[in-house]
């Protein structure tokens, strides 16, 4: 049943399924009234990590659509390392194909890189039509857009729940059944395929799977989400989106700020060096933890500013400084020897053999390091 009319601020909000976890915590950045910093239009000036992730997604999209996977062209288009991209694609596509065949899902109807718009107020989903990659400009003010990397249709007479896959290239760990992005996508897809069931709230609504891959290994996290969980998620998303588009978005600084697209314009981080003042006279654990939270956000903010200055110099030339020197881009060759690069060049078996030999011959420096990191409570107890 549709809800009452929602008061909406002018313009479109900035939230999407991939940022659901951030939306549920803080709504300021998603408000239509907040002007987020624009990313460079030229793809080579965009951040390295998401650019590589997009290239990897493109290889998987072509593969799952059973189209030629043009590694050379994709690597060139996204300005990423061709051999590294091929390594990711070969390992991931083989693992996903094997998994689909084992589950007898290989020939099931599939949606690949399909753009959807879910409205948590009307509880409906539309397929968005646009040519641009991750282009959600066709969304309506109350819709939350998102892209399903791979989704499998439900079985005949709901003999099998929908299946939702998401690719993650990086080192972060994920728990698929608890992942907010997958819950939002599952919510939208159950409405798209009209598999909503109220009589059996504990029945499995979706099988959710995250395929996480980095330079050295790959893992899958999978699980199920029931209809009751999705209905509860809808209530949470609807409440957060209501705050974002109402014109009075809530602002909640915290550890999540480092990933926020609005970090550079957020009022809570306008003076990143104030973290120095916050660290003075720290006595209580809560004070130290608060200072650390602000430090992490400040470090990421300064990285963003440096990247923007670097892009400006590359496009407009050197900057004259007040010490008589210039801030300019200096080109040089950088060599990087890592376990991942050795294994890519020689293969896993020969690569590990060479690494072991280099270690035995004393060619690999090793030292004990103590570093401030964030660990889960479970990992902390294992130490």
Alpha-helix residue ranges (DSSP H) falling in 105-179:
none
Q: Which residues contact 185 (CB under 8 A, 6 or more apart)?
A: 17, 116, 146, 148, 151, 164, 166
CA angle 24, 29, 32 (to 5 degrees): 110
CATH 3.30.70 fits 17-245, yes or no: no
CA distances from 207 to 16, 18, 94, 177, 220 (A): 21, 18, 20, 8, 13
pLDDT at 1: 44
d(CA 42, CA 379): 41
Of 2-16, 210-224, 230-244, give the lowest mean pLDDT range. Answer: 2-16
d(CA 61, CA 133): 12
Mean pLDDT of 240-253: 90
pLDDT digits (tens, 9 = 90+) for 96-111: 999 999 999 999 999 9
CA distances from 292 to 254, 265, 277, 282, 308 (A): 10, 20, 12, 11, 25
Which secondary structure element, helix H or strand E, spans residue 110, and what is its range? strand 110-119
pTM of the model: 0.81
Mean pLDDT of 180-187: 97
Of 14-23, 70-79, 270-279, 324-333, give the lowest mean pLDDT range. Answer: 270-279
Provide CATH 3.90.320 ranges for the chain. Answer: 17-245
pLDDT digits (tens, 9 = 90+) for 20-37: 999 999 999 999 999 998
pLDDT at 380: 58
d(CA 58, CA 79): 13
Mean pLDDT of 163-172: 88
Task: Return the closest-CA partner of residue 165 out of 218, 133, 106, 207.
Answer: 207
pLDDT higher than threshold 60 for residue 260 = yes
Task: Return the closest-CA partner of residue 24 out of 187, 179, 173.
Answer: 179
pLDDT digits (tens, 9 = 90+) for 84-96: 999 999 999 999 9
């Amino acid at each position: 049943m549709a809800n009452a009319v929602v008061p909406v601020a002018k313009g479109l909000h900035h939230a999407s399924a991939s940022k659901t976890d951030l939306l549920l915590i803080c709504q300021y950045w998603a408000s239509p009234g907040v002007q987020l910093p624009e990313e460079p239009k030229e793809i080579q000036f965009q951040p390295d990590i998401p650019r590589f992730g997009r290239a990897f997604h493109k290889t998987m999209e072509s593969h799952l659509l059973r189209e030629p996977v043009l590694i050379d062209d994709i690597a060139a288009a996204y300005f990423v390392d061709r051999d590294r991209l091929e390594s990711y694609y070969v390992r991931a596509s083989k693992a996903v194909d094997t998994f689909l065949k084992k589950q007898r899902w290989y020939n099931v109807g599939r949606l690949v890189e399909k753009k959807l718009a879910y409205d948590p107020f009307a509880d409906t989903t539309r397929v968005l039509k646009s040519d641009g990659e991750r282009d959600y400009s066709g969304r309506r003010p109350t819709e939350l857009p998102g892209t399903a990397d791979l989704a499998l249709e439900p079985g005949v007479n709901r003999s099998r729940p929908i299946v939702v896959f998401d690719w993650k290239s990086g080192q972060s760990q994920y728990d698929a059944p608890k992942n907010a992005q997958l819950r939002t996508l599952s919510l939208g897809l159950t409405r798209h395929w009209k598999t909503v069931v109220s009589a059996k709230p504990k029945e499995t609504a979706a099988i959710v799977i995250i395929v996480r891959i980095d330079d050295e290994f790959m893992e899958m996290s999978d699980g199920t989400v029931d209809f009751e969980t999705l209905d509860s998620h809808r209530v949470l998303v609807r409440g957060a989106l209501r705050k974002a588009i109402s014109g009075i978005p809530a602002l909640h600084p915290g550890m999540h700020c480092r990933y926020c697209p609005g970090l550079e314009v957020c009022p809570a981080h306008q003076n990143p060096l104030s973290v120095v003042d916050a660290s003075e006279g720290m006595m209580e654990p809560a004070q130290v933890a608060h200072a650390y939270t602000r430090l992490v956000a400040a470090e990421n903010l300064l990285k963003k500013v440096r990247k923007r200055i670097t892009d400006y110099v590359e496009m407009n030339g050197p900057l004259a400084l007040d010490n008589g020197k210039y801030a300019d881009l200096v080109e040089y060759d950088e060599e990087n020897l890592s376990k991942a690069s050795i294994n890519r060049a020689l293969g896993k078996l020969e690569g590990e053999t060479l690494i072991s030999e280099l270690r035995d011959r004393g060619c690999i420096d090793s030292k004990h390091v103590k570093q401030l990191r964030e660990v889960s409570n479970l990992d902390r107890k294992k130490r």
